[in-house]
Amino acid sequence: MSPGPSSRGTDTGTAAGRSAAGVNSARPPPALDDPHPDASATVAAAAGAITSAMIDRRFTSARLPGRGGGGCRSVRPMSSPEVTSAILAIDRRAGGQVRSAVASVPGGHEYARLTADIMAPGFQGLVLALIVLPGSRVLGVRAAVAGTVAGLAAKVARDAIDRPRPGQRGEGGFPSRHAASSTAIALVVARQRPVLGAAAMLGALAGLAARVAAADHDPLDVVAGAGVGAAVARITRRRRWRRGGTRR
């Protein structure tokens, strides 16, 4: 006896229901957006994007075989030495571009060399004048201490790191001792003499740019040196000084 139309309809509906249930059970549940994403993951992703944009791809990529013999580039994790080497290579290229631009100007290299050479005597004269002139002895002594300490700190770090200079000088160049001393002096002076301190800072910027152009340093050398000088100046300004110029 064959089943009636209603029976066949029931069987067909049941089979369709089983099929739909099977598809739904096999399908993974939709992913829900995390309303509270991990902050460290967000920071890591942003840092990775910035690093990838700044560092040349040849330092971060390896050639893998692919179809047609062309291969594809696959980003691999970089170790700390590789990251450091990549950053220093970019810095060296940036300094080279500055030197090339200056050399293309008639007399540019000679002017840069002269500016770089008079930078240190200029700041020494400023400190000496502050010590000798009435009413500024304490400021002069404070500037002298800040410049000396910053220069010594930069020299210790420079000798330990021993980064080769772009020019012919044999000693290390990172961080710049001139940048540390001049920045410390300018910031200490600016605390009490804003106009004079601003002029000193402009002189420091000109002198440090000239030292990059004259192949004494690369840009990161002077940036790091300025950071050392700023830290020393901040410490020096927080000290209290007697009228005679001694610390207490």
Q: What is the pLDDT of residue 80?
A: 80
Q: Does the reported pTM lie above 0.85?
A: no
Identify how many contiguous H helices and E strands the chain contains and give both numbers: 8, 2
CB-based contacts of 82, cutoff 8 Å, min separation 6: 59
What average pLDDT does the structure give for the chain?
A: 77
pLDDT tens digits, 134-148: 899 999 999 999 999
Q: What is the pLDDT of residue 241?
A: 52
The better pLDDT of the pair 50, 197 is held by: 197
Contact 186, 204 (CB under 8 A): yes
CB-based contacts of 5, cutoff 8 Å, min separation 6: none
Q: How confident is the model over 229-239, as a mean pLDDT?
A: 86
Q: What is the pLDDT of residue 97?
A: 94
